[in-house]
A and B are shown apart, each in its own frame.
Chain A
């Protein structure tokens, strides 16, 4: 198929349609309005349904109903809207419903601003809502990767019967890049039939009840162990990351995800021209996190630099990965400000000259 120049938001919508998602429930919020707008135009063309819900609370519960009926379904929002969906996401995880949720992050807290941010990392990977549950979280760094990950997300959601979150930032949503959709794409997993869906019962199979309520504590404990077993399998089988420059020698390791990693890669190229050698690990799955890849890559480096558009969220996972074995440095912008390649270059130079302050924890 030929390449098309598409906005990230539109590519995300189209990828969902290509993955067989014919139901979309959403509510407008900047900077991802182009996703529901695209779906409102596109879904009727394929016999699908778009509903503008009255709120994100409603949209996320429409998701629950549609997913529980065995259909592929997606919603998208941006930070404040995702917070409103958090309750339903806990129920979706508890009831083991496969859905795809897109968060095009904007700067917070509160109403914050509408410009790009990565300040929902901890919410997405660790603390979305009440209860012991995890989302599979994937973070694209380009429009093409956003499209690819959305398609994979539907397969992963169905395979694990778990919500999958696509975590992008305002840049991913707004920028246009060439995208290609592979024809005749095969699912990346062998997918069992959705015989658990509640679609009416003629007595030929057990009744389906879509539910997250377990009043018997023993039963709920068993359920939580069952969920944990899924998360363990994800940690074993679904870790995704990319590396650059790790084969050669390098003095410094950069860890960054999403569009920030692209800014870092530009900086790293510039430094290479000046003979400064830097390696990079870019986590693509944020849960499960590529702890081992970061740990091993850090071994060869003299120091590790984390670059984020937040006050310091993913850096906690990098700390867990390297366990104090190397000096850790941090470069960040927040509030919708972006890190520029020059800032990354300057920071790396400061680290090599010894003028950058290490991140120290009491």
Chain B
């Protein structure tokens, strides 16, 4: 009998995605699916899809799903988890979705320490709507609503979500990684495994920020997009684990009398 050494994860449906050539949303989907399979939690997982290019994620995972309104996935995930703590709940969000319109929801979801996992795909652009500036767009980067490049005097600096969330006192697992090289994809899978494991063990909120390419709206071919990410995003968005539950605290600070 020949031995199968590579196959589609069970948690991924056998369909063609709508993602553009060279887009890393697909890679990220696969890594999540592998982790769900390996942790054996697929049957009790419920995903939350955002509004963004991954709006159709519910078509690609072999799990139950909710489709949230723009930016509100962490609130929907909270509702699911509070209703059914036995479920494994993950939200999949883009940078416009999470770091612009949905900033309130992600901050408060993390701060309450909801035991859900958020996969945050940072491609420094609004992909779905055709390349407008995102809160994560790099200074000088051209987008359709900053035709002369992002001007930090007018739009501020790109938001570093992982760093920002790790300032919260509530225990959490927060990490940033990337999938633009095979080695980093392996690392991303490991980060996702840890994030989901923390949830399965009922320990804390977890978020994995993943740097991603958008060749279509960056206006460059896929191979160059990888280089662009490496040259421009990596220095500003360092990879690593920013917070583990051990470094946070659920203890309340004593009140002064």
Q: CB–CB under 8 A between A and B in the complex?
A: yes
**Chain A residues in the interface with B (C-beta under 8 A):** 27-30, 33, 36-37, 40-41, 50-52, 54-57, 80, 110-111
B126: which A residues are within 8 A, CB to CB? 28
Check B75 for interface membership: any CB of A closer than 8 A: no
Docked pose: A50 CA to B150 CA in angstroms: 13
Given contacts A33-B130, A111-B69, contact A27 B101 (CB under 8 A): yes
- Which residue of chain B is the closest to A44 with respect to CB atoms? B148
CB distance from A113 to the nearest CB of B (A): 11
Cβ-neighbour of B132 out of A36, A41, A54 (below 8 A): A36
B51: which A residues are within 8 A, CB to CB? 111
Chain A proximity mask over B23-50: 1 for CB below 8 Å, otherwise 0? 0000000000000000000000000000
Cβ-neighbour of A30 out of B101, B130, B133 (below 8 A): B130
Docked pose: A342 CA to B130 CA in angstroms: 34
Instruction: Please determine whether A54 and B135 come into contact, CB atoms closer than 8 angstroms.
Output: yes
Instruction: Please determine whether A54 and B55 come into contact, CB atoms closer than 8 angstroms.
Output: no
CB distance from A176 to the nearest CB of B (A): 17
Cβ-neighbour of B133 out of A29, A52, A56 (below 8 A): A52
Docked pose: A41 CA to B69 CA in angstroms: 29
A51: which B residues are within 8 A, CB to CB? 154
- Which residue of chain B is the closest to A40 with respect to CB atoms? B145
B146: which A residues are within 8 A, CB to CB? 40, 52
Instruction: Please determine whether B101 and A55 come into contact, CB atoms closer than 8 angstroms.
Output: yes
Docked pose: A29 CA to B69 CA in angstroms: 13
Given contacts A40-B146, A80-B69, contact A33 B101 (CB under 8 A): no
- Which residue of chain B is the closest to A36 with respect to CB atoms? B145
Contacts A/B (CB < 8 Å), 6 sampled: A36-B132, A40-B144, A40-B145, A51-B154, A56-B101, A57-B101
A80: which B residues are within 8 A, CB to CB? 69-70
Instruction: Please determine whether A33 and B69 come into contact, CB atoms closer than 8 angstroms.
Output: no
Given contacts A40-B147, A55-B71, A111-B67, contact A33 B132 (CB under 8 A): yes
Q: Number of contacting residues on B, CB 8 A?
A: 23
**Chain B residues in the interface with A (C-beta under 8 A):** 51, 55, 67, 69-71, 96, 100-101, 103, 126, 128-130, 132-133, 135, 144-147, 154-155
A33: which B residues are within 8 A, CB to CB? 129-130, 132, 144
CB distance from B100 to the nearest CB of A (A): 5
**Other CB < 8 Å A-B pairs besides A80-B70, A111-B55, 19 of them?**
A27-B100, A28-B96, A30-B130, A33-B132, A33-B144, A36-B132, A36-B145, A37-B132, A40-B144, A40-B145, A40-B146, A40-B147, A41-B147, A52-B132, A52-B145, A52-B146, A54-B135, A55-B71, A110-B69
Docked pose: A36 CA to B155 CA in angstroms: 15
Instruction: Please determine whether B145 and A28 come into contact, CB atoms closer than 8 angstroms.
Output: yes
Instruction: Please determine whether B70 and A54 come into contact, CB atoms closer than 8 angstroms.
Output: no
Docked pose: A68 CA to B146 CA in angstroms: 27
Cβ-neighbour of B101 out of A36, A41, A54, A111 (below 8 A): A54
Instruction: Please determine whether B100 and A37 come into contact, CB atoms closer than 8 angstroms.
Output: no
Instruction: Please determine whether A28 and B67 come into contact, CB atoms closer than 8 angstroms.
Output: no
Listed residue (B69, B126, B133, B145) with the most chain A CB atoms within 10 angstroms of its CB: B145
Instruction: Please determine whether A28 and B132 come into contact, CB atoms closer than 8 angstroms.
Output: yes
B67: which A residues are within 8 A, CB to CB? 111
Docked pose: A57 CA to B155 CA in angstroms: 17
CB distance from A349 to the nearest CB of B (A): 41
A52: which B residues are within 8 A, CB to CB? 132-133, 145-146, 155
**List of 9 A-B pairs having minimum Cβ-Cβ separation, nearest first:** A55-B101, A28-B132, A28-B129, A40-B145, A54-B100, A37-B144, A52-B145, A41-B147, A30-B129
B70: which A residues are within 8 A, CB to CB? 80
Docked pose: A52 CA to B154 CA in angstroms: 10
- Which residue of chain A is the closest to B103 with respect to CB atoms? A54
Docked pose: A216 CA to B179 CA in angstroms: 60
Listed residue (B71, B101, B133, B154) with the most chain A CB atoms within 10 angstroms of its CB: B101
CB distance from B98 to the nearest CB of A (A): 11
Docked pose: A30 CA to B52 CA in angstroms: 11
A30: which B residues are within 8 A, CB to CB? 128-130
Instruction: Please determine whether A55 and B55 come into contact, CB atoms closer than 8 angstroms.
Output: no
- Which residue of chain B is the closest to A51 with respect to CB atoms? B154
Docked pose: A37 CA to B101 CA in angstroms: 18
A37: which B residues are within 8 A, CB to CB? 132, 144-145, 147
- Which residue of chain A is the closest to B155 with respect to CB atoms? A52
A28: which B residues are within 8 A, CB to CB? 96, 126, 129-130, 132, 145
- Which residue of chain B is the closest to A29 with respect to CB atoms? B129
